[in-house]
Amino acid sequence: MASTAFPHLNDSNNKTALVEGDKKYSYAEVNQRIDRFATGLLGDRSDLEEERIAFFMPASLDYVTTMHGVWRAGGIAVPLNVASAVSELDHYLNCASVTRMIADDHYQDDLKQLCASLNIELMSVADVLADGAGPLPAIDEGRRAMILFTSGTTNKPKGVVSTHKTIVAQITTLIDAWAWTEEDVIPLFLPLHHIHGIINILSCGLWAGATVHLFAKFDIPRICAQVVAGTYNVFMAVPTIYVKLIQYFDTIDEAEVATICAGFKPMRLNISGSAACPVKLFKQWQELTGQVLLERYGMTEIGMGISNPYAGERRAGYVGQPLPGVEAQLFDESDKQIDEEGVPGEIRIKGDNVFLEYWDNEKATRESFKDGWFCTGDVAVVEDGYYRIMGRSSVDIIKSGGYKLSALEIEGVLLTHPAIAEVAVIGVEDDTWGEAVTAFVGLNQGAALNYEELKTWCDGKMSSYKIPKAVKLVDALPRNAMGKVTKPDLKKLAV
């Protein structure tokens, strides 16, 4: 039995666990399917012994089957973003030394050539499922369970390794803090290569014995119809989703808007995360639905660390207080602890929720910890006991639409354009995206470039959410004496 054994996933629980389209699956059905998948993965082996198995699929019964099946068989789950360009997957698969890839039939053709070139076996869930469940290994809680990739300040994303113990800690602290029960029903439409969708929604829901409605993408009319029907009592999204809902309300008649907002009103909880929630949006949502958004703070390496209270004051513009079992502390640039309120410092985190290591990157792992504290790189200030995020200590991280993007990675691709001589990418504050990816471009002599041309060129070379939302042509990028681009100066030009 794996130490990530979810208490409600058993053969005698007939309560509905997952709803996908017009199909419902009980906890017992899901559990039996996971066991058959884990058995198929093992073949004639007794334990996968941390074999890295990637999967490329949206929210679905197959996704849940694959993730839990990999865990139960003793493997390391490597969920990938289905919005990624296939050319970007090469790094993830190589970095984690993936041996098998599980993908929906819909994606098989796109992935065949890549998997063949990397000697990775490409399979579907149906290919793996055994006829029946066989013996499964006992998994120690300290074993590695999952690798999620996150963009850092370097060009290449790092693989964040969580153990079974890490995952359980990340889930159970939220079960406690956000009062999850088996009566909860929640939609899941967020990407499932990211901590928000994987832990906060899917894993918390299944751990609590709740019902999770699975959507391959954010389908506003279908989700709003369920809201009107009173299906959901919990709703979690990134700020961009709330903005899109409000924009959708502008396209339909007032009576329909009132009906949808009335569907949100009785929900026990609406949460916003993965990017800063603008105070304007916080207030708009409250005026429309009566819901006071609960904003929280987390990242791939720690799950959730800080949260506004479930029962208590939720402050607009603040992420709240440390979660149960999580230690948070601000430090100054000299690594001295800041105990005085109102003084900004870097957030550092301790607890069972913190990741184990960056995969195959001992140097990055070592540099991310100081005296046992994980250094988040995010700067905050504590005011009246509540944390307020001020920004990132690195200007090269952009939070856009719930994604955490590396400006350096985007710059690297743009620099391959024949017209571009130099480029710097920054995030510019935006009501819809949180931060809009903006490129400042210096052209080669005699070259010309407009935004639509660049956007078309980027298609297929990078994921759609990384493509700049705006391009500004400059004669030269501002640089310091060392030749480094001074991005704060670009922020001023973007206003």
Specify whether the CB–CB gap between 256 and 444 falls below 8 A: no
Per the document, the length of the chain is 495
Nearest residue to 122 (alpha-carbon basis) of 113, 132, 134, 133: 113
Residue 92 lies in a domain: no
**pLDDT given for residue 393 in this prediction:** 65
Question: Do both 215 and 344 map to the same domain?
Answer: yes
Both 293 and 387 in one domain: the answer is yes
Q: What is the pLDDT of residue 370?
A: 98
Domain presence at residue 67: no
User: Are 403 and 481 members of one domain?
Assistant: yes
**Beta bridge pairs of residue 472:** 440
Give the pLDDT score at 155: 47
Per-residue pLDDT, 484:
62
Q: How far apart are CA 57 and CA 310, in angstroms?
A: 32
- Is the domain of 330 the same as that of 475? no
305 in a structural domain: yes
- From 357, 392, 427, give the residue that closes a domain: 392
Of the candidates 192, 204, 100, the one whose C-alpha atom is nearest the C-alpha of residue 149 is: 192
Q: Are 338 and 425 part of one and the same domain?
A: no
- Residues 260-276 as b/e (b if ≥16 CB within 10 A, e otherwise) read bbebbeebebbbbbbbb
> Cα-flanking dihedrals φ and ψ of residue 177, to 5°?
-70, -35
Question: According to the model, what pLDDT value does residue 219 have?
Answer: 95
**What six digits make up the tokens of 46?**
């007794």
Please identify, among 375, 392, 409, the residue that sits at the C-terminal boundary of a domain.
392
Where among 370, 392, 414 does a domain terminate?
392
Rounded to whole angstroms, the Cα distance separating 104 from 89 reads 16
Q: Are 102 and 57 in contact (CB under 8 A)?
A: yes
Same domain, 384 and 412: no
Q: Is the distance from CB of 287 to CB of 264 less than 8 angstroms?
A: no
Are residues 288 and 259 in contact, defined by beta-carbon separation less than 8 angstroms? no
CA distance 147 to 300: 10
CATH number reported for the structural domain that contains residue 275 in this entry: 3.40.50.12780
Q: What local confidence, expressed as pLDDT, does residue 77 receive?
A: 98
- The range of the structural domain enclosing residue 227 comes to 204-392
pLDDT of residue 108: 94
- 339 and 266 within one domain: yes
SS (H, E, C) 225-281: HHHHCCCCCEEEECHHHHHHHHHHHCCCCHHHHHHHHHHHCCCCEEEECCCCCCHHH
Residue 481 is predicted with a pLDDT of 44
Task: Give every strand in the sheet of 321-322, ordered side by side.
Answer: 234-237, 269-272, 294-299, 303-307, 321-322
Enter the pTM of the model.
Answer: 0.84
State the 10-residue block means of pLDDT for the chain, 495 residues long: 79 98 98 98 98 97 98 98 86 95 94 96 98 96 95 66 98 98 97 94 98 96 98 94 93 97 98 84 96 96 98 95 97 95 93 98 96 93 92 74 80 89 90 93 92 94 93 87 69 78
* Whole-number Cα distances in Å, 385 to 6, 164, 317, 392, 446: 34, 32, 13, 20, 57
Predicted local distance difference test score (pLDDT) of residue 482: 39
| Sign of the alpha-carbon dihedral angle for 318, 324, 326, 330 | positive
Q: Which two tokens stand for residue 447?
A: 């070259």
Crossing angle of helices 254-264 and 279-289, rounded to 10°: 100
Counting the structural domains of the chain, the total is 2
Q: What local confidence, expressed as pLDDT, does residue 154 receive?
A: 41
Question: 237 lies in a domain?
Answer: yes
> What pLDDT sits at residue 486?
80
**What is the rounded distance in angstroms from the CA atom of residue 450 to the CA atom of residue 472?**
9
Give the whole-angstrom CA distance, residue 475 versus residue 441: 8
Q: Chain centroid to CA 314: how far?
A: 23
Number of alpha carbons in the 13 Å side-chain half-sphere of residue 245 = 25
Residues 6+ apart with CB under 8 A from 301: 150, 160, 354, 355, 368, 374, 376
CATH for 444: 3.30.300.30
CA triple 174-81-326, angle to 5 deg? 25
Q: Is residue 443 part of a domain?
A: yes
